[in-house]
Protein backbone atom coordinates (compact mmCIF):
# COMPACT_ATOMS: atom_id res chain seq x y z
CA UNK A 1 0.00 0.00 0.00
CA UNK A 2 3.04 2.24 0.40
CA UNK A 3 3.07 3.13 -3.27
CA UNK A 4 -0.47 4.57 -3.10
CA UNK A 5 -0.89 8.32 -2.80
CA UNK A 6 -3.21 9.40 0.04
CA UNK A 7 -7.01 9.59 0.13
CA UNK A 8 -8.58 13.03 0.45
CA UNK A 9 -11.57 13.44 2.77
CA UNK A 10 -13.85 16.44 2.28
CA UNK A 11 -16.39 17.11 5.01
CA UNK A 12 -17.41 20.17 6.94
CA UNK A 13 -18.38 18.17 10.01
CA UNK A 14 -15.41 17.62 12.25
CA UNK A 15 -16.69 14.42 13.88
CA UNK A 16 -17.42 12.86 10.54
CA UNK A 17 -13.91 13.73 9.31
CA UNK A 18 -12.41 12.17 12.40
CA UNK A 19 -14.36 8.95 12.15
CA UNK A 20 -13.71 8.56 8.42
CA UNK A 21 -10.06 9.26 9.05
CA UNK A 22 -9.70 6.65 11.77
CA UNK A 23 -11.51 3.90 9.86
CA UNK A 24 -9.38 4.41 6.76
CA UNK A 25 -6.06 5.10 8.45
CA UNK A 26 -6.44 1.96 10.56
CA UNK A 27 -6.35 -0.05 7.35
CA UNK A 28 -3.00 1.45 6.49
CA UNK A 29 -4.03 4.04 3.92
CA UNK A 30 -2.56 7.53 4.03
CA UNK A 31 -5.26 10.18 4.59
CA UNK A 32 -5.57 13.96 4.34
CA UNK A 33 -8.65 16.00 5.15
CA UNK A 34 -10.10 19.37 4.31
CA UNK A 35 -13.32 21.15 5.41
CA UNK A 36 -14.55 22.47 2.08
CA UNK A 37 -14.80 21.72 -1.60
CA UNK A 38 -12.83 24.87 -2.39
CA UNK A 39 -9.94 23.75 -0.20
CA UNK A 40 -10.11 20.29 -1.76
CA UNK A 41 -9.81 21.65 -5.31
CA UNK A 42 -6.83 23.75 -4.29
CA UNK A 43 -5.09 20.81 -2.64
CA UNK A 44 -5.82 18.47 -5.56
CA UNK A 45 -4.05 20.97 -7.81
CA UNK A 46 -0.91 20.64 -5.73
CA UNK A 47 -0.66 17.03 -4.64
CA UNK A 48 -1.55 13.58 -5.98
CA UNK A 49 -4.40 11.61 -4.39
CA UNK A 50 -5.74 8.27 -5.48
CA UNK A 51 -9.35 8.98 -4.47
CA UNK A 52 -11.61 11.54 -2.81
CA UNK A 53 -14.38 10.90 -0.33
CA UNK A 54 -16.78 13.82 -0.08
CA UNK A 55 -20.02 14.56 1.68
CA UNK A 56 -22.83 15.56 -0.68
CA UNK A 57 -23.85 18.49 1.50
CA UNK A 58 -21.11 20.97 2.25
CA UNK A 59 -21.04 24.61 3.26
CA UNK A 60 -20.24 26.76 0.23
CA UNK A 61 -19.73 24.68 -2.87
CA UNK A 62 -21.82 21.46 -2.62
CA UNK A 63 -20.50 17.97 -3.02
CA UNK A 64 -22.16 17.72 -6.43
CA UNK A 65 -20.61 20.96 -7.67
CA UNK A 66 -17.27 19.76 -6.38
CA UNK A 67 -17.72 16.50 -8.22
CA UNK A 68 -18.42 18.35 -11.47
CA UNK A 69 -15.35 20.56 -11.10
CA UNK A 70 -13.10 17.66 -10.11
CA UNK A 71 -14.30 15.51 -13.03
CA UNK A 72 -13.44 18.27 -15.44
CA UNK A 73 -9.89 18.74 -14.22
CA UNK A 74 -9.02 15.19 -13.14
CA UNK A 75 -11.28 12.83 -15.09
CA UNK A 76 -9.56 9.69 -13.83
CA UNK A 77 -9.79 10.59 -10.13
CA UNK A 78 -12.42 8.46 -8.37
CA UNK A 79 -14.78 10.35 -6.06
CA UNK A 80 -16.91 8.56 -3.49
CA UNK A 81 -20.01 10.49 -2.45
CA UNK A 82 -21.55 10.22 1.00
CA UNK A 83 -25.25 11.09 1.00
CA UNK A 84 -27.49 11.78 3.97
CA UNK A 85 -29.90 8.93 3.50
CA UNK A 86 -30.40 6.09 1.15
CA UNK A 87 -32.90 7.09 -1.45
CA UNK A 88 -32.57 5.66 -4.91
CA UNK A 89 -32.93 9.17 -6.30
CA UNK A 90 -29.89 10.48 -4.45
CA UNK A 91 -27.88 7.46 -5.42
CA UNK A 92 -28.72 7.91 -9.08
CA UNK A 93 -27.88 11.60 -8.88
CA UNK A 94 -24.50 10.88 -7.33
CA UNK A 95 -23.60 8.27 -9.94
CA UNK A 96 -24.90 10.40 -12.80
CA UNK A 97 -22.81 13.32 -11.60
CA UNK A 98 -19.81 11.03 -12.03
CA UNK A 99 -19.23 9.59 -8.57
CA UNK A 100 -17.56 6.19 -8.70
CA UNK A 101 -19.75 5.02 -5.82
CA UNK A 102 -21.91 6.37 -3.04
CA UNK A 103 -22.53 5.53 0.59
CA UNK A 104 -25.65 6.46 2.50
CA UNK A 105 -25.38 7.49 6.14
CA UNK A 106 -25.29 5.63 8.40
CA UNK A 107 -22.93 3.09 6.86
CA UNK A 108 -20.87 0.27 8.30
CA UNK A 109 -17.08 0.74 8.30
CA UNK A 110 -16.72 -2.36 6.13
CA UNK A 111 -18.85 -0.77 3.42
CA UNK A 112 -16.55 2.21 3.37
CA UNK A 113 -13.43 0.08 3.37
CA UNK A 114 -14.81 -2.09 0.63
CA UNK A 115 -15.36 0.94 -1.61
CA UNK A 116 -11.88 2.24 -0.80
CA UNK A 117 -10.29 -1.13 -1.54
CA UNK A 118 -11.99 -1.22 -4.91
CA UNK A 119 -10.59 2.20 -5.78
CA UNK A 120 -7.15 1.17 -4.56
CA UNK A 121 -7.26 -1.91 -6.79
CA UNK A 122 -8.43 0.22 -9.68
CA UNK A 123 -5.57 2.62 -9.10
CA UNK A 124 -3.06 -0.20 -9.06
CA UNK A 125 -4.42 -1.73 -12.25
CA UNK A 126 -4.53 1.62 -14.00
CA UNK A 127 -0.94 2.25 -13.06
CA UNK A 128 0.01 -1.22 -14.28
CA UNK A 129 -1.86 -0.69 -17.50
CA UNK A 130 -0.13 2.63 -18.04
CA UNK A 131 3.27 1.13 -17.54
CA UNK A 132 2.36 -1.65 -19.94
CA UNK A 133 1.48 0.95 -22.52
CA UNK A 134 4.47 3.10 -21.77
CA UNK A 135 6.70 0.16 -22.74
CA UNK A 136 10.29 1.18 -22.27
CA UNK A 137 9.62 3.54 -19.38
CA UNK A 138 7.74 0.84 -17.50
CA UNK A 139 8.40 0.59 -13.80
CA UNK A 140 8.94 -3.09 -13.19
CA UNK A 141 8.59 -4.33 -9.67
CA UNK A 142 9.52 -7.63 -8.14
CA UNK A 143 5.94 -8.31 -7.01
CA UNK A 144 4.85 -8.15 -10.63
CA UNK A 145 6.76 -11.34 -11.24
CA UNK A 146 4.08 -13.73 -10.08
CA UNK A 147 4.67 -17.29 -8.93
CA UNK A 148 5.19 -19.29 -5.75
CA UNK A 149 6.86 -22.31 -7.30
CA UNK A 150 10.36 -22.94 -5.92
CA UNK A 151 12.06 -21.86 -9.14
CA UNK A 152 10.18 -18.57 -9.24
CA UNK A 153 10.88 -17.83 -5.58
CA UNK A 154 14.54 -18.49 -6.28
CA UNK A 155 14.40 -16.32 -9.39
CA UNK A 156 13.08 -13.36 -7.42
CA UNK A 157 15.73 -13.87 -4.74
CA UNK A 158 18.44 -13.99 -7.36
CA UNK A 159 17.15 -10.78 -8.95
CA UNK A 160 17.37 -9.09 -5.58
CA UNK A 161 20.91 -10.32 -5.09
CA UNK A 162 22.23 -9.49 -8.53
CA UNK A 163 20.36 -6.25 -9.23
CA UNK A 164 22.50 -3.94 -7.07
CA UNK A 165 25.73 -5.16 -8.67
CA UNK A 166 27.12 -4.03 -12.00
CA UNK A 167 27.34 -7.60 -13.28
CA UNK A 168 26.47 -8.23 -16.90
CA UNK A 169 23.47 -10.51 -17.13
CA UNK A 170 22.37 -13.03 -19.71
CA UNK A 171 18.74 -14.16 -19.63
CA UNK A 172 17.92 -17.36 -21.45
CA UNK A 173 14.50 -18.88 -21.80
CA UNK A 174 11.70 -19.90 -24.10
CA UNK A 175 9.49 -17.29 -25.64
CA UNK A 176 6.99 -15.77 -23.23
CA UNK A 177 8.68 -16.87 -20.00
CA UNK A 178 9.18 -13.33 -18.69
CA UNK A 179 12.69 -12.40 -19.79
CA UNK A 180 11.72 -8.78 -20.24
CA UNK A 181 10.19 -8.67 -16.79
CA UNK A 182 13.42 -9.97 -15.28
CA UNK A 183 15.50 -7.41 -17.16
CA UNK A 184 13.21 -4.56 -16.10
CA UNK A 185 13.25 -5.65 -12.46
CA UNK A 186 17.07 -5.87 -12.49
CA UNK A 187 17.29 -2.24 -13.61
CA UNK A 188 14.63 -1.07 -11.21
CA UNK A 189 16.22 -2.64 -8.19
CA UNK A 190 19.66 -1.28 -9.02
CA UNK A 191 21.21 2.02 -8.03
CA UNK A 192 20.89 2.97 -11.72
CA UNK A 193 17.09 3.08 -11.53
CA UNK A 194 16.94 6.90 -11.67
CA UNK A 195 18.87 6.82 -14.94
CA UNK A 196 17.72 5.57 -18.31
CA UNK A 197 16.70 2.03 -19.08
CA UNK A 198 17.28 1.63 -22.80
CA UNK A 199 15.82 -1.39 -24.52
CA UNK A 200 16.85 -2.48 -27.98
CA UNK A 201 15.33 -5.41 -29.81
CA UNK A 202 18.16 -6.66 -32.00
CA UNK A 203 15.79 -8.75 -34.11
CA UNK A 204 13.44 -5.85 -34.86
CA UNK A 205 16.04 -3.43 -36.25
CA UNK A 206 17.49 -4.09 -39.71
CA UNK A 207 21.05 -5.31 -39.43
CA UNK A 208 22.42 -2.34 -41.36
CA UNK A 209 20.92 0.11 -38.89
CA UNK A 210 21.55 -1.70 -35.65
CA UNK A 211 25.14 -0.54 -35.28
CA UNK A 212 24.22 3.10 -35.76
CA UNK A 213 21.28 2.68 -33.41
CA UNK A 214 23.55 1.28 -30.72
CA UNK A 215 26.66 3.41 -31.15
CA UNK A 216 25.43 6.41 -33.17
CA UNK A 217 26.87 7.83 -36.38
CA UNK A 218 28.69 10.91 -37.67
CA UNK A 219 27.12 13.20 -40.24
CA UNK A 220 27.59 11.85 -43.76
CA UNK A 221 28.90 8.49 -42.60
CA UNK A 222 26.42 6.75 -44.91
CA UNK A 223 23.67 7.76 -47.32
CA UNK A 224 20.88 9.16 -45.27
CA UNK A 225 23.06 10.13 -42.30
CA UNK A 226 22.14 13.80 -42.63
CA UNK A 227 23.25 14.77 -39.17
CA UNK A 228 25.28 13.34 -36.35
CA UNK A 229 23.33 10.97 -34.13
CA UNK A 230 24.12 9.80 -30.61
CA UNK A 231 24.07 6.11 -29.90
CA UNK A 232 21.57 4.56 -27.53
CA UNK A 233 24.54 3.50 -25.36
CA UNK A 234 25.09 7.20 -24.72
CA UNK A 235 21.47 7.59 -23.73
CA UNK A 236 22.01 4.73 -21.27
CA UNK A 237 25.02 6.43 -19.61
CA UNK A 238 24.94 5.60 -15.86
CA UNK A 239 21.87 3.51 -16.60
CA UNK A 240 21.12 0.10 -18.09
CA UNK A 241 20.95 -1.13 -21.65
CA UNK A 242 18.86 -4.20 -22.42
CA UNK A 243 19.74 -6.00 -25.64
CA UNK A 244 16.79 -8.22 -26.37
CA UNK A 245 17.08 -11.09 -28.90
CA UNK A 246 20.86 -10.81 -28.86
CA UNK A 247 21.06 -14.19 -30.57
CA UNK A 248 20.02 -12.40 -33.76
CA UNK A 249 22.92 -9.93 -33.80
CA UNK A 250 25.27 -10.18 -36.78
CA UNK A 251 28.82 -11.40 -36.21
CA UNK A 252 30.57 -8.13 -37.15
CA UNK A 253 28.45 -6.23 -34.65
CA UNK A 254 29.10 -8.92 -32.05
CA UNK A 255 32.79 -8.05 -32.36
CA UNK A 256 32.13 -4.38 -31.76
CA UNK A 257 29.90 -5.19 -28.81
CA UNK A 258 32.62 -7.37 -27.34
CA UNK A 259 35.03 -4.47 -27.42
CA UNK A 260 32.45 -2.21 -25.86
CA UNK A 261 31.94 -4.70 -23.05
CA UNK A 262 35.67 -4.82 -22.26
CA UNK A 263 35.88 -1.21 -21.13
CA UNK A 264 32.82 0.75 -22.26
CA UNK A 265 34.57 2.36 -25.25
CA UNK A 266 33.18 2.67 -28.75
CA UNK A 267 33.30 4.83 -31.85
CA UNK A 268 30.30 6.12 -33.75
CA UNK A 269 29.75 4.79 -37.27
CA UNK A 270 31.96 6.90 -39.56
CA UNK A 271 33.73 8.47 -36.57
CA UNK A 272 37.28 8.34 -35.25
CA UNK A 273 36.89 9.55 -31.70
CA UNK A 274 36.88 6.94 -29.03
CA UNK A 275 33.98 7.57 -26.67
CA UNK A 276 33.36 6.01 -23.31
CA UNK A 277 30.24 5.46 -21.25
CA UNK A 278 29.31 3.73 -18.02
CA UNK A 279 26.55 1.30 -18.82
CA UNK A 280 25.29 -1.93 -17.34
CA UNK A 281 24.37 -4.51 -19.95
CA UNK A 282 21.59 -7.06 -19.80
CA UNK A 283 21.06 -9.38 -22.76
CA UNK A 284 18.35 -11.92 -23.52
CA UNK A 285 17.51 -14.46 -26.16
CA UNK A 286 15.04 -17.29 -26.66
CA UNK A 287 17.38 -19.02 -29.10
CA UNK A 288 19.50 -21.99 -28.16
CA UNK A 289 22.69 -19.96 -27.73
CA UNK A 290 24.94 -23.00 -27.36
CA UNK A 291 23.68 -24.34 -30.67
CA UNK A 292 24.24 -20.90 -32.22
CA UNK A 293 27.86 -20.98 -31.01
CA UNK A 294 28.30 -24.46 -32.43
CA UNK A 295 26.94 -23.31 -35.77
CA UNK A 296 29.31 -20.35 -35.73
CA UNK A 297 26.53 -17.82 -35.60
CA UNK A 298 27.39 -16.55 -32.17
CA UNK A 299 30.86 -15.69 -30.88
CA UNK A 300 31.88 -17.88 -28.00
CA UNK A 301 34.02 -15.13 -26.44
CA UNK A 302 31.03 -12.77 -26.45
CA UNK A 303 28.91 -15.45 -24.83
CA UNK A 304 31.40 -15.79 -21.97
CA UNK A 305 31.56 -12.01 -21.59
CA UNK A 306 27.78 -11.76 -21.34
CA UNK A 307 27.36 -14.83 -19.21
CA UNK A 308 28.64 -13.37 -15.93
CA UNK A 309 25.31 -14.09 -14.30
CA UNK A 310 22.75 -16.24 -16.02
CA UNK A 311 19.01 -16.19 -15.45
CA UNK A 312 16.74 -18.91 -16.75
CA UNK A 313 13.08 -18.20 -16.20
CA UNK A 314 11.61 -21.73 -16.38
CA UNK A 315 8.96 -22.75 -18.91
CA UNK A 316 5.45 -22.38 -17.52
CA UNK A 317 4.83 -26.15 -17.64
CA UNK A 318 7.49 -26.55 -14.93
CA UNK A 319 5.84 -24.13 -12.53
CA UNK A 320 2.99 -26.25 -11.17
CA UNK A 321 0.15 -24.25 -9.65
CA UNK A 322 1.69 -20.94 -10.70
CA UNK A 323 -0.48 -21.43 -13.77
CA UNK A 324 -3.54 -20.80 -11.60
CA UNK A 325 -1.97 -17.86 -9.77
CA UNK A 326 -1.08 -16.25 -13.07
CA UNK A 327 -4.48 -17.04 -14.57
CA UNK A 328 -6.19 -15.35 -11.63
CA UNK A 329 -3.91 -12.35 -11.96
CA UNK A 330 -4.69 -11.94 -15.67
CA UNK A 331 -8.37 -12.59 -15.00
CA UNK A 332 -8.50 -9.66 -12.60
CA UNK A 333 -6.57 -7.50 -14.99
CA UNK A 334 -8.69 -8.18 -18.07
CA UNK A 335 -12.04 -8.00 -16.25
CA UNK A 336 -11.00 -4.56 -15.17
CA UNK A 337 -9.47 -3.50 -18.48
CA UNK A 338 -12.49 -4.74 -20.44
CA UNK A 339 -14.88 -3.27 -17.91
CA UNK A 340 -16.51 -6.57 -16.95
CA UNK A 341 -17.54 -7.70 -13.48
CA UNK A 342 -14.95 -9.80 -11.62
CA UNK A 343 -14.93 -13.48 -12.51
CA UNK A 344 -13.56 -16.66 -10.99
CA UNK A 345 -12.17 -19.81 -12.59
CA UNK A 346 -14.43 -22.85 -12.46
CA UNK A 347 -12.84 -26.08 -11.20
CA UNK A 348 -12.95 -27.79 -14.62
CA UNK A 349 -11.35 -24.67 -16.15
CA UNK A 350 -8.56 -24.89 -13.57
CA UNK A 351 -8.05 -28.55 -14.42
CA UNK A 352 -7.85 -27.72 -18.10
CA UNK A 353 -5.28 -24.99 -17.53
CA UNK A 354 -3.18 -27.28 -15.34
CA UNK A 355 -3.22 -30.07 -17.91
CA UNK A 356 -1.97 -27.94 -20.80
CA UNK A 357 1.75 -27.81 -21.66
CA UNK A 358 1.92 -24.07 -22.55
CA UNK A 359 4.42 -23.94 -25.44
CA UNK A 360 3.87 -20.16 -25.57
CA UNK A 361 4.36 -19.90 -21.79
CA UNK A 362 3.04 -16.94 -19.81
CA UNK A 363 2.24 -14.92 -22.92
CA UNK A 364 0.03 -17.74 -24.19
CA UNK A 365 -1.74 -17.95 -20.84
CA UNK A 366 -2.30 -14.20 -20.86
CA UNK A 367 -3.89 -14.39 -24.32
CA UNK A 368 -6.03 -17.37 -23.36
CA UNK A 369 -7.42 -15.52 -20.35
CA UNK A 370 -8.03 -12.35 -22.31
CA UNK A 371 -10.02 -14.33 -24.86
CA UNK A 372 -11.99 -16.14 -22.13
CA UNK A 373 -12.92 -12.86 -20.45
CA UNK A 374 -14.21 -11.56 -23.78
CA UNK A 375 -16.21 -14.74 -24.48
CA UNK A 376 -17.57 -15.42 -21.01
CA UNK A 377 -20.54 -13.52 -19.70
CA UNK A 378 -21.16 -15.65 -16.63
CA UNK A 379 -19.55 -15.00 -13.24
CA UNK A 380 -17.27 -18.01 -13.78
CA UNK A 381 -14.85 -18.88 -16.53
CA UNK A 382 -16.01 -22.27 -17.77
CA UNK A 383 -13.78 -24.83 -19.42
CA UNK A 384 -15.67 -24.29 -22.68
CA UNK A 385 -14.42 -20.69 -22.85
CA UNK A 386 -10.85 -21.96 -23.01
CA UNK A 387 -9.32 -23.16 -26.28
CA UNK A 388 -9.30 -26.81 -27.26
CA UNK A 389 -5.71 -27.41 -26.19
CA UNK A 390 -5.83 -31.07 -27.14
CA UNK A 391 -6.66 -30.34 -30.75
CA UNK A 392 -4.03 -27.61 -30.95
CA UNK A 393 -1.38 -29.92 -29.56
CA UNK A 394 -2.22 -32.56 -32.15
CA UNK A 395 -2.05 -30.07 -34.97
CA UNK A 396 1.25 -28.81 -33.72
CA UNK A 397 2.64 -32.30 -33.37
CA UNK A 398 1.58 -33.16 -36.90
CA UNK A 399 3.11 -29.94 -38.21
CA UNK A 400 6.36 -30.44 -36.36
CA UNK A 401 6.79 -33.98 -37.52
CA UNK A 402 6.05 -33.02 -41.09
CA UNK A 403 8.42 -30.07 -40.88
CA UNK A 404 11.22 -32.06 -39.31
CA UNK A 405 11.16 -34.67 -42.03
CA UNK A 406 14.53 -33.51 -43.28
CA UNK A 407 13.94 -31.12 -46.10
CA UNK A 408 12.24 -32.70 -49.07
CA UNK A 409 8.67 -31.75 -49.79
CA UNK A 410 7.80 -35.30 -50.78
CA UNK A 411 8.97 -36.62 -47.42
CA UNK A 412 7.07 -33.93 -45.57
CA UNK A 413 3.90 -34.66 -47.52
CA UNK A 414 4.28 -38.40 -46.99
CA UNK A 415 4.66 -37.83 -43.24
CA UNK A 416 1.63 -35.62 -43.16
CA UNK A 417 -0.40 -38.14 -45.11
CA UNK A 418 0.69 -40.90 -42.77
CA UNK A 419 -0.40 -38.84 -39.74
CA UNK A 420 -3.83 -38.21 -41.22
CA UNK A 421 -4.43 -41.83 -42.15
CA UNK A 422 -3.25 -43.16 -38.80
CA UNK A 423 -5.49 -40.66 -37.03
CA UNK A 424 -8.50 -41.68 -39.13
CA UNK A 425 -7.84 -45.36 -38.43
CA UNK A 426 -7.54 -44.64 -34.75
CA UNK A 427 -10.85 -42.81 -34.71
CA UNK A 428 -12.60 -45.81 -36.23
CA UNK A 429 -11.11 -48.54 -34.11
CA UNK A 430 -8.66 -49.57 -36.88
CA UNK A 431 -11.48 -50.35 -39.22
CA UNK A 432 -10.57 -49.61 -42.84
CA UNK A 433 -14.02 -49.09 -44.32
CA UNK A 434 -15.24 -46.20 -42.15
CA UNK A 435 -11.76 -44.63 -42.20
CA UNK A 436 -11.81 -44.74 -46.00
CA UNK A 437 -15.26 -43.23 -46.00
CA UNK A 438 -14.16 -40.38 -43.78
CA UNK A 439 -11.16 -39.71 -46.00
CA UNK A 440 -13.47 -39.88 -49.00
CA UNK A 441 -11.66 -42.64 -50.83
CA UNK A 442 -12.32 -46.27 -51.60
CA UNK A 443 -11.12 -49.03 -49.32
CA UNK A 444 -8.88 -50.14 -52.08
CA UNK A 445 -7.27 -46.74 -52.49
CA UNK A 446 -6.69 -46.47 -48.76
CA UNK A 447 -5.07 -49.93 -48.67
CA UNK A 448 -2.84 -48.96 -51.53
CA UNK A 449 -1.70 -45.78 -49.80
CA UNK A 450 -1.14 -47.59 -46.53
CA UNK A 451 1.14 -50.01 -48.28
CA UNK A 452 3.04 -47.21 -49.96
CA UNK A 453 3.41 -45.33 -46.66
CA UNK A 454 4.46 -48.42 -44.76
CA UNK A 455 1.50 -48.35 -42.45
CA UNK A 456 1.32 -51.92 -41.28
CA UNK A 457 -1.85 -53.82 -41.99
CA UNK A 458 -2.03 -54.57 -38.26
CA UNK A 459 -2.97 -50.96 -37.73
CA UNK A 460 -6.18 -51.85 -39.48
CA UNK A 461 -8.49 -54.68 -38.76
CA UNK A 462 -9.60 -56.23 -41.98
CA UNK A 463 -13.30 -55.98 -42.36
CA UNK A 464 -14.76 -59.23 -43.56
CA UNK A 465 -17.89 -57.63 -44.85
CA UNK A 466 -16.46 -55.98 -47.89
CA UNK A 467 -17.69 -56.18 -51.42
CA UNK A 468 -15.32 -56.96 -54.27
CA UNK A 469 -15.42 -53.42 -55.64
CA UNK A 470 -13.87 -52.16 -52.42
CA UNK A 471 -16.95 -50.38 -51.10
CA UNK A 472 -18.36 -51.26 -47.72
CA UNK A 473 -21.77 -52.89 -47.58
Residues in contact with ligand ATP by CB under 6 A are 144-147, 173, 175-181, 286, 326, 362-363, 366
**CA distances (Å), origin 283, targets 107, 179, 310, 413:** 54, 9, 10, 39
CB closer to Mg ion out of 112 and 171: 171
**Positive or negative: CA dihedral 289, 292, 297, 300:** positive
The least distance separating ligand ATP from the CB of residue 412, rounded to whole angstroms, comes to 27
CB closer to ligand ATP out of 174 and 218: 174
Residue 317's binding partner among ligand ATP, Mg ion, none (Cβ under 5 to 8 angstroms by kind) is none
DSSP states of 60-110 as a string?
SS-HHHHHHHHHHH-TT--EEEEESS--HHHHHHHHHTT-SEEEESS--HH
Q: How far apart are CA 256 and CA 231, in angstroms?
A: 13
CB closer to ligand ATP out of 288 and 426: 288
**Positive or negative: CA dihedral 295, 299, 304, 308:** negative
Q: How far apart are CA 42 and CA 275, in angstroms?
A: 49
Q: For residue 437, say if its preceding peptide bond is cis, omega within 30 degrees of 0.
A: no
The least distance separating ligand ATP from the CB of residue 143, rounded to whole angstroms, comes to 9
CB closer to ligand ATP out of 176 and 231: 176
Residue 162's binding partner among Mg ion, ligand ATP, none (Cβ under 5 to 8 angstroms by kind) is none
CB closer to ligand ATP out of 366 and 447: 366
Which positions from 180 to 219 touch Mg ion by CB under 5 A, shown as an x/- string?
Answer: x---------------------------------------
Which positions from 321 to 360 touch Mg ion by CB under 5 A, shown as an x/- string?
Answer: ----------------------------------------
Residue 78's binding partner among ligand ATP, Mg ion, none (Cβ under 5 to 8 angstroms by kind) is none
Longest Cα–Cα distance in the chain:
100
3-state secondary structure of 199: strand
3-state secondary structure of 232: helix
The least distance separating Mg ion from the CB of residue 138, rounded to whole angstroms, comes to 13
Q: Nearest 5°: phi and psi at 74?
A: -130, 75
Residue 155's binding partner among Mg ion, ligand ATP, none (Cβ under 5 to 8 angstroms by kind) is none
Residue 177's binding partner among Mg ion, ligand ATP, none (Cβ under 5 to 8 angstroms by kind) is ligand ATP
Number of residues that bind Mg ion (CB under 5 A): 1
The least distance separating ligand ATP from the CB of residue 297, rounded to whole angstroms, comes to 17
Q: Identify which of 44, 38, 42 has the alpha carbon closest to the alpha carbon of residue 8.
A: 44
Amino acid sequence: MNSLPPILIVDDEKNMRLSLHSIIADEGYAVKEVESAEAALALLGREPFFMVITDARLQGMSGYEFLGAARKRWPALPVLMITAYATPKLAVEAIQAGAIDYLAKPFAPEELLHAVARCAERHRLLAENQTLRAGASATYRLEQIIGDSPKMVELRQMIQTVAPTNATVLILGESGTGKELVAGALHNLSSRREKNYVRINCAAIPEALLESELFGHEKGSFTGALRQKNGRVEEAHHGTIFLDEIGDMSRPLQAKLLRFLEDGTFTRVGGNDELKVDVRLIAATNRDIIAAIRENQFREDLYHRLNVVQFRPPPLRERGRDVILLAEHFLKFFCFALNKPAKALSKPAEQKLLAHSWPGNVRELRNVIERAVILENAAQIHAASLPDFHLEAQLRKGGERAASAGGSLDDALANFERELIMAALERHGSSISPAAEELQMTRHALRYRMQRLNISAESAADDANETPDGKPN
